[in-house]
Structure 1
Amino acid sequence: MTARVREFNAFLRDYVNLNQTRVNTLQSRVSSLDKFLGDESTLGDLVTDDVIPQGSFAHKTIIRPYIGNDFDADVLLPMDEDPDWEPKKYTIELQKALEASKRYEGKTTLGKRCVTIDYADDFHIDVVPFITRGDGTTYITHRIDNEWIRQDPVALTEWIEESSRATNGHLIRVIRLVKYLRDRSSLNVASVVLTALLTERVHSFAGVDEYQNVATTLVSLIEDLNDYLGPMSSAPWVDDRIGQNLADRLTQTGFTNLQSQLKTWARKMRAALDAPSSESVDKWQDVFGDKFGASAKAEPMLSASAAPIETYEKREAPGEQSLERDHHIPVRIQPEARFRLVGRMSATRRASGRYRPMSATGNHIPIGRSLSFTVEDCTVPAPYDVYWKVRNAGIEAVERHNLRGQIVKGGDKMTEHSSFAGNHWVQAWIVKNGVAVATDIQDVTITSS
């Protein structure tokens, strides 16, 4: 078995993942839009919270657009119900509010469920009114049919985030890879359907071997999905986490094509994973094309004097500590020893109340929030020790010489502050009798303003 970790990392970085310039543009424009809608627009009295990332934006599965396509961000605009408004009025009033601004005038298109803002480059934002009605339930609206549509995309985002943790974060990378393949095939499967189908195949008890790297996770999930869908004559129910069927978006032809493509992918991917090292790159190229392996280079740890464009993303940074190397604590993760590291952020400038889970927004955090991280649902019997690492990444972290990465002993809770943009993370270990038996990671994506 040859995992080709270096080649997968390089392929994702150079050909699949949305490049950092576009990520910064996306985050900056969403932040500007959020400020306008909440503080400056005619909708201000109804807007109850910051915009909520939705879909691929929330799930971190946006990929580099294929030739001729653009990329987009979907956001929900949390609003209170106005008892005098019909469902269709929310999108209509949203467009009016945007068109009243010089920044968005002439850039909007009124859709069935959203208002689309088109920018000069290959990018647009779909803004969806997200209404909390009098009974506390949440809805989006359909302008043409003038009806309420029950929806809770936050529940979907939290489910995907939790499933990703069970795969050591590799689920998100697998979804990106499969979307890359879809865009270069004849498949017509919506991203949310593909994402949910793959997420359903994640098993928390699958074990370390199946989800130890991108390649093994990819093959495991594709083979499981092929085995699941292969015998079916029509698409199964795909739960959106509140009892509605996402597969309604999949035609019979689309489902049949998906079955055929999964069968081919499963066969080729298994052959590539099981191939000897001398043949594996060629076999993975049979799946992804000749770009796979073309730019892979050794990536040793860089010195602190590296160029400021280096972000050290998911790599060991200068000065970063290891539990085993620097604290002489052996790491022997035990399947029965588990806990959840839950990150929460303070209430927004418009909302009030307790801290809310970061997972509700796909771990996207605005600058200037108070953050808390808590060890919860721990199966390790007390007493035990908790060791913590806070790791910053991104250009700002490098320029400020603040990558961090030190490991400290603490209690079941720690607090931080969202100070600058970047994809950061917090990791905790449960240490019992001098051995680290469980660990978990909370990603923290602080968005640029």
Structure 2
Amino acid sequence: MTARVREFNAFLRDYVNLNQGRVNTLQSRVSSLDTFLGDDSSLSDLVVDDLIPQGSFAHKTIIRPYTGNDFDADVLLPMEEQQDWEPKKYTVELQKALEASSRYRAKTTLGKRCVTIDYADDFHIDVVPFITRADGSSYITHRIDNEWIRQDPVALTEWIEQSSRVTSGHLIRAIRLVKYLRDRTSLNVASVVLTAMLTERVHSFAGVDEYQNVATTLVALVEDLHDYIGPMTSAPWIDDRIGQNLADRLTHTGFLNLQSQLKTWARKMRTALDAPADESIERWQEVFGDKFGASTSAELALAAAAAPLETYEKREAPGEQSLERDHHIPVRLDPRARFRLIGRMSATRRAAGRYRPMSATGNHVPIGRSLSFTIEGCTVAPPYDVYWKVRNAGAEAVERSNLRGEIVKGGDKMTEHSSYAGNHWVQAWVVKNGVAVATDLQDVTIVSN
């Protein structure tokens, strides 16, 4: 088995992932939109909380657009229910509020469920009114049918985030790779359907060793999904996490085409993963094309040297500590020892006093928030010790020489503050009798204003 970790990382970086400049622009535009709608628009008094990322934006599965296509971000606008408004009025009033601003005038399109804002740089933002009604359930609206639609995209985002942790984050990379393949075929499967189907194949039971890297995770999920739907004559129920069926968005022809593609992908991916080292790149090129692994070592070194800044995302930073190397605590994870590291962020003045789990927004956190991280659901019997690491990444962290990465002993809770943009994370270990038996990691994507 040859994992080709370096080649997968380079392929994702250079051909699959949305490049960081576009990510920064997207996050900045969403932040500006959030400020306008919450503070400066005719709807400000009705806005009850921050914009909530949903879909590929929240799940971090946006990929580089295929030739001729732009990319988009979906956000929910939490609004207070108005007793005298019909469902269709929410999107109509939202467009009026946006068109009243010189920044958004003549950039909006009124859709069935959203208002689309088109930007000049090949992307658009879909803004969806999101209302928690008197029954305590959350809804979006359908303007044409003038009806309420029960939805809870936050529950879906939290489920995907939790499943991604089981795979050490490789689930998200695998989904991006499958979306890359989808875009280069005639396959017509919505991103949310594909994402949910792959996420359902993640197994959290003890002993799973299929998620060691991107390659093994990708093959495991694609093979499992092929085995699951291969014998079926119609699409299975795909739970949206509130008991509704996402498969309603998949046509029968689309399902049959997905079955066929999965059979081909599973066969080719297994051959590539099991191939000898001297054949594996060629086998992976049969899956992804000639761009996979095309860069030579010299070209990779040249690209690294030409990069404007090493941001140390998911790589060991200068001075970063290791539990074993620097604290002499062996790490022997026990599958029976588990806990969840839960990150929460303080609310805006629009939702005063309420901390919200970061997972509800795909771990996107605005600058200037108080953050709390707690050990919850720990199966390790006390007494035990907890060790914490806070790791910054990104251009601002490098420029300020504040990548951090020290490991400190603490309690079951710690607090931080979101100070500057970047893809950061917090990791905790539970140490019992001098041995680290459980660990978990919380991603924190701080978004610039």
Tell me which interval the TM-score lies in, with the shorter structure as reference length.
over 0.9
Contact 1:308-1:399 within 8 A present in 2 as well: no
Q: 1:355 Cα shift? A: 1.3
SS in 1 for 2:387: strand
The one-character-per-residue Cα deviations of 1:17-57 (angstroms, maximum 9, x if unpaired) are: 11010000000000000000000000011100000000000
Alignment correspondent of 1:169: 169
Alignment correspondent of 2:412: 412
Alignment correspondent of 1:344: 344
Matches within 5 A, 1:70-149: 70-149=70-149
Q: CA 1:134/1:325 → structure 2, altered by over 3 Å: closer, same or farther?
A: same
Q: Report the Cα distance in structure 1 between the residues aligned to 2:134 and 2:448, rounded to whole angstroms.
A: 34
The aligned amino acid for 2:320 is E
Moved more, 412-421 or 203-212: 203-212
Moved more, 131-140 or 157-166: 131-140
Alignment correspondent of 2:375: 375
Gap runs ≥5 in structure 1: none
Matches within 5 A, 1:227-242: 227-242=227-242
TM-score, normalised by the number of residues in structure 2: 0.97
Q: 1:306 Cα shift? A: 11
The aligned amino acid for 2:347 is A
Q: 1:121 Cα shift? A: 1.4
Q: 1:354 Cα shift? A: 2.9
The one-character-per-residue Cα deviations of 1:76-111 (angstroms, maximum 9, x if unpaired) are: 000011011000000000000000000000000000
Q: CA 1:297/1:38 → structure 2, altered by over 3 Å: closer, same or farther?
A: farther
SS in 2 for 1:45: helix
Q: Report the Cα distance in structure 2 between the residues aligned to 1:344 and 1:123, rounded to whole angstroms.
A: 30
Q: 1:308 Cα shift? A: 5.9
Q: Report the Cα distance in structure 2 between the residues aligned to 1:266 and 1:246, rounded to whole angstroms.
A: 23
SS in 1 for 2:349: coil
Q: 1:296 Cα shift? A: 6.5
SS in 1 for 2:374: strand
The aligned amino acid for 1:269 is M
Alignment correspondent of 2:392: 392
Q: CA 1:278/1:400 → structure 2, altered by over 3 Å: closer, same or farther?
A: same
CA RMSD of aligned residues (A): 1.5
Q: CA 1:384/1:297 → structure 2, altered by over 3 Å: closer, same or farther?
A: farther
The aligned amino acid for 1:237 is W
Matches within 5 A, 1:431-442: 431-442=431-442
Divergent runs of 4+, >4 A = 296-300, 305-308
Alignment correspondent of 1:157: 157
Matches within 5 A, 1:35-434: 35-205=35-205, 207-295=207-295, 297=297, 309-434=309-434
SS in 2 for 1:88: helix
Q: 1:348 Cα shift? A: 1.5
Q: Report the Cα distance in structure 2 between the residues aligned to 1:34 and 1:84, rounded to whole angstroms.
A: 25
Moved more, 259-268 or 286-295: 286-295
Q: 1:133 Cα shift? A: 1.2
Q: Report the Cα distance in structure 1 between the residues aligned to 2:182 and 2:297, rounded to whole angstroms.
A: 27
Contact 2:206-2:336 within 8 A present in 1 as well: no
Q: Report the Cα distance in structure 1 between the residues aligned to 2:401 and 2:433, rounded to whole angstroms.
A: 35
Q: Report the Cα distance in structure 2 between the residues aligned to 1:296 and 1:397, rounded to whole angstroms.
A: 30
Q: 1:208 Cα shift? A: 4.7
Contact 1:11-1:295 within 8 A present in 2 as well: no
Q: Report the Cα distance in structure 1 between the residues aligned to 2:404 and 2:314, rounded to whole angstroms.
A: 13
Q: 1:135 Cα shift? A: 2.2
Contact 2:389-2:406 within 8 A present in 1 as well: yes
Q: CA 1:278/1:344 → structure 2, altered by over 3 Å: closer, same or farther?
A: same
Contact 2:365-2:445 within 8 A present in 1 as well: yes
Q: 1:295 Cα shift? A: 3.1
Q: 1:310 Cα shift? A: 1.4
Q: CA 1:27/1:44 → structure 2, altered by over 3 Å: closer, same or farther?
A: same
Moved more, 86-95 or 128-137: 128-137
Q: Report the Cα distance in structure 2 between the residues aligned to 1:172 and 1:206, rounded to whole angstroms.
A: 21
Q: 1:232 Cα shift? A: 0.3
The one-character-per-residue Cα deviations of 1:195-247 (angstroms, maximum 9, x if unpaired) are: 00000000101635201111110000000000000000000110100111111
The one-character-per-residue Cα deviations of 1:358-395 (angstroms, maximum 9, x if unpaired) are: 10111000000000000111111111111110000000
Q: CA 1:21/1:246 → structure 2, altered by over 3 Å: closer, same or farther?
A: same
Q: 1:353 Cα shift? A: 2.9
SS in 2 for 1:424: strand
Q: Report the Cα distance in structure 1 between the residues aligned to 2:372 and 2:307, rounded to whole angstroms.
A: 32
Q: 1:307 Cα shift? A: 7.3
Contact 1:308-1:395 within 8 A present in 2 as well: no
The aligned amino acid for 1:311 is T
The aligned amino acid for 2:419 is S
Matches within 5 A, 1:19-30: 19-30=19-30
